[in-house]
Structure 1
Amino acid sequence: MRKIILFGRSECGKTTLMQALRGKDISYHKTQYINNFDVIIDTPREYAENKDLAAALALYTYEADVVGLLASSIEPYSLYPPNITPSVNREVIGIVTQIDQPNGDPKRAERWLRLAGCKKIFFVSSYTKEGVWQILDYLREDGDIMPWDKDKSKQ
């Protein structure tokens, strides 16, 4: 699988999405530092919310194949400036999180991510797992055997 690094503001669902992508139980965990897992890099909010630390995020993109910009459907504003995606030399995708929230506006979050420069957008709920497999499938490389492939071979 291609490796993805997740960026976003506080409480947008980065760590929760990371847990869902890894097939782990969802539990609250404050990310204190950059966690470099097998195919996912989880970043703390301070890096995206603090301009002095933001440059470090651009450096960490060298460790990944794909950059995931997260925007929650319940966020009141966008953290990302227009056309930010060219600032890294990796493919950048947008991920709208918390789409299951009744007060959310996924289309607004999608517009913000498109304005930031994301061409490919995924809509996910880490709790219901909606959209999670689409991200995993997108990160899939030739030869990768996914859990749902194993299920098909049993049939």
Structure 2
Amino acid sequence: MKKIILMGRSECGKTTLRQALKGDKIHYHKTQYINHYDVVIDTPGEYAETNRLGRALALYSYEADVVGLLIGAQEPYSLFPPCVTASSARPVIGIVTQIDHPDANPDRAESWLRLSGCEEVFRVSAYTGEGIWQILEYLREDGDVLPWDQEEAERPRVVLSTK
């Protein structure tokens, strides 16, 4: 799997998305420092919200294969300036989170991510699982076996005779 770094404001769903991508049980956990997991780098929202801490995100992005910019579907504004993806040496994808929120406006969030320069945008709900497999497919590298591949390989084959 390609390694992804998740960036966005506080409470936009970075840690919850990480839990969903890993297949973990969803529970609240405040990220207070940059966490390296095997294929996910989870960052605190304060790093994206604070000018001086934002430099750390630039440095940590070099340890990832893909940068993920997250915006919650119910957010009233975007932290990301127009064309910001041009400053990254890595591919940058947009991720609209919390699409199942009652106040969600995923079209608006997606338009902000596209304005920021994201050509690939995923809409996800960590609670329903919608959009999670698409991100996993995007991060997949040759030889990676994802859970649905394993289930298919273990499924018994039925051969019908024509006799």
TM range (shorter): over 0.9
CA distance in 2 between partners of 1:34 and 1:10 (Å): 13
Where does residue 50 of structure 2 map in the other structure?
Answer: 50
How many pairs are equivalent? Answer: 155
CA distance in 1 between partners of 2:57 and 2:36 (Å): 13
Determine helix, strand or coil for the equivalent of 2:141.
coil
CA distance in 1 between partners of 2:33 and 2:145 (Å): 30
Matched to 1:121, the amino acid is V
Encode CA deviations 1:17-46: one digit per residue, 9 max, x unaligned: 000000000000000100000000000011
> How well do the aligned residues superpose, as a CA RMSD in angstroms?
0.5
Matched to 2:95, the amino acid is I
Is 1:149 the counterpart of 2:128? The answer is no
- Ranges in structure 1 where 5+ consecutive residues have no aligned partner: none
Where does residue 27 of structure 2 map in the other structure?
Answer: 27
Where does residue 103 of structure 1 map in the other structure?
Answer: 103
- Note if contact 1:71-1:78 (Cα within 8 Å) is conserved in structure 2: yes
Is 1:63 the counterpart of 2:67? The answer is no
Encode CA deviations 1:73-93: one digit per residue, 9 max, x unaligned: 000101100000011100000
CA distance in 1 between partners of 2:49 and 2:88 (Å): 17
Where does residue 90 of structure 1 map in the other structure?
Answer: 90
Determine helix, strand or coil for the equivalent of 1:63.
coil
- Ranges in structure 2 where 5+ consecutive residues have no aligned partner: 156-163
Matched to 1:50, the amino acid is T
Identity of aligned residues (%): 67
Moved over 6 A (4+): none
